């Protein structure tokens, strides 16, 4: 009986796999890649929805930027609701900058603007840059990291 169930399971899985192959057989490689990309995107959106986030991984109901972007941040450190990406220490400067540089739709901000939480429903892409190679583009002001946000505006 056990062998019969195993054989039935193998046959079922094999037939499902072959049906998928037949569906994809008439498509070009470009179309197959597009289907796979769509499936990956749908899986990502489902994952975010299960976590209580919008389809771009943003918590629209959050009270602080740190909580709104928490899924995208590499660490869980924060100070005053602002994420700390990388601590920068300098022996020549009296105060060391610990907060990241914010780039919102191409505009630079040393700290998140006051009305930024109103932007959270409009955010479409979040990139958190921490390594020296990634933040080199913005110079000394980005030595504590960069958070790049693109919105639907």
Q: pLDDT 10s per residue in the chain (153 long)?
A: 777 667 666 766 655 655 555 456 677 888 888 888 999 989 988 988 898 888 888 888 877 777 788 888 776 566 666 677 766 656 555 455 677 888 888 888 887 776 666 777 778 888 888 888 888 888 888 888 888 888 887
pLDDT computed for residue 130 by the predictor: 83
pLDDT computed for residue 22 by the predictor: 47
| CA dist., res. 111 & res. 102, Å (int) | 6
pLDDT computed for residue 13 by the predictor: 62
Q: Which two tokens stand for residue 149?
A: 């946000």
In terms of Cα–Cα distance, which of 74, 60, 44, 48 is closest to 146?
Answer: 74
| CA dist., res. 91 & res. 107, Å (int) | 29
* Residue 112 φ/ψ, nearest 5 degrees: -65, 135
Which SS3 state, helix, strand or coil, does residue 75 take? Answer: coil
pLDDT computed for residue 121 by the predictor: 74
Which SS3 state, helix, strand or coil, does residue 14 take? Answer: helix
pLDDT computed for residue 122 by the predictor: 79
User: Do 100 and 79 contact (CB within 8 A), yes or no?
Assistant: no
pLDDT computed for residue 24 by the predictor: 60
pLDDT computed for residue 42 by the predictor: 92
* Residue 102 φ/ψ, nearest 5 degrees: -105, 130
Q: Which two tokens stand for residue 11?
A: 């046959």
Largest CA distance in the chain: 78
> Going along the chain, which residue ranges are E strands?
78-79, 82-83, 101-104, 107-109, 123-129, 146-151
């Amino acid at each position: 009986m056990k062998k019969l169930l195993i054989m039935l399971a193998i046959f079922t899985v094999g037939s499902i796999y072959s049906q998928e192959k037949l569906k994809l057989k008439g498509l070009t490689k470009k179309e197959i890649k597009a289907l796979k990309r769509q499936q990956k995107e749908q899986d990502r959106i489902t994952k975010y929805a299960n976590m209580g986030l919008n389809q771009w991984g943003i918590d629209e109901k959050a009270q602080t930027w740190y909580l709104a972007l928490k899924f995208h941040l590499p660490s869980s450190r924060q100070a005053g609701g602002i994420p700390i990406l990388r601590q920068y220490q300098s022996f020549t400067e009296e105060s060391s900058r610990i907060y990241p540089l914010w780039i919102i739709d191409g505009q630079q901000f040393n700290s998140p603007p006051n009305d930024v939480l109103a932007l959270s429903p409009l955010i479409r892409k979040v990139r958190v840059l921490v390594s020296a190679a990634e933040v080199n583009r913005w110079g000394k002001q980005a030595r504590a990291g960069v958070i790049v946000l693109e919105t639907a505006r």
